[in-house]
Amino acid sequence: MKKTIALFILLFIASGSVYSQLIGIKLGPVIGLTSPTSDFSGEVSDYYAGTKYGMKSAVNFGAMGKINIGPIGGRLSINYSSMSNSGVPNPSQPNSSVEVKNSILLFTVGAELGITIPFTSIRPYGGIDLLISSIGGSHNFQGTSEVSSNEIEMSSASRTGLGLAIGTEIGFGKTLIMDFSLRYNLHNLFSKSYEGVTASNDRNYAYSFLNDDADPNYSASDSKHPIGSSRNISTIQIQLGILFGL
């Protein structure tokens, strides 16, 4: 019995000594890869058809701050991704082309739950984030029916959503921590809208705004209003943070 109690105390002390390295405020830069999923992915032909945004993967970068109190943690971050794609938007016009760009400036505030592995400086965790995303971009159609052949800036829009994450912190010494994470972000979970001029027969309005909700004037027989359903804007991020304890 005494040996069991002694072992328990030893494990508790070891775990506490590791936590003492990880408790506190941590700040540092973050870099990673953003991959669009669901309706935010696809091809430029999907973008022209109004079904998806047609984005491809790109680098993301930003900064992150964390605070841990035992197994509970809080997280704040700012992150930027700029994605794009190009190709033939209208298969019936093989000489048509388009370049599409979308950027996401992402602010997150979240909570984490983690447990440090005894006798190590490794802390696996899971987390949930509230997302505030500012989304902008542009498109440049050339030789494509029913749209202008010039570059047009998309009006920026703000969206709110939720993110889920799993990750691991690895401590090196008392102040340096590497943070590896895999994150799923649904950027427009709580806010979608169609902002194009619904009464207009100008198809350019379908692409001049984020328009992640359905066009109220959509009709399968009316090519001027191609967006017939709401679209989810979601991404998967792989991130590496280099954090410094304060």
Summarize pLDDT for 127-164 with one digit per residue, the tens: 999 999 999 999 999 999 999 999 999 999 999 999 99
| Positions of the chain with pLDDT lower than 50, given as ranges | 1-22
Residue 23: what pLDDT?
54
- Give the amino acid at 219: S
Which pLDDT belongs to residue 17? 42
Number of structural domains the chain divides into: 1
Q: 213 and 198 in contact (C-beta within 8 Å)?
A: no
The CATH number for 224's domain is 2.40.160.20
Given this model, what pLDDT does residue 197 score?
Answer: 77
Whether 171 contacts 22, CB under 8 Å: yes
Contacts of 135 (CB under 8 A, 6+ apart): 102, 103, 104, 105, 156, 157, 158, 159, 187, 210, 233
Q: Are strands 97-114 and 72-87 parallel, antiparallel or unpaired?
A: antiparallel
The residue with tokens 């040996």 is 3
Closest to 242 (Cα-Cα) out of 27, 20, 21, 25: 27
Instruction: Check residue 110 and report its DSSP letter.
Output: E
pLDDT of residue 246: 82
Query: What range does the domain containing 116 cover?
Result: 2-245
With beta carbons less than 8 A apart as the criterion, state whether 104 and 235 touch: yes
Round to whole Å and give the CA distance between 1 and 69.
31
pTM above 0.85, yes or no: yes
Q: Is 137 left (phi over 0), alpha (psi -120 to 50) or beta?
A: left
Distance of CA 166 to the CA centre of its chain: 14
Please state, in angstroms and rounded to a whole number, the distance separating the CA atoms of residues 225 and 222. Answer: 6
* pLDDT for residue 81: 98
**What ranges in the chain are assigned the alpha helix state H?**
2-22, 44-49
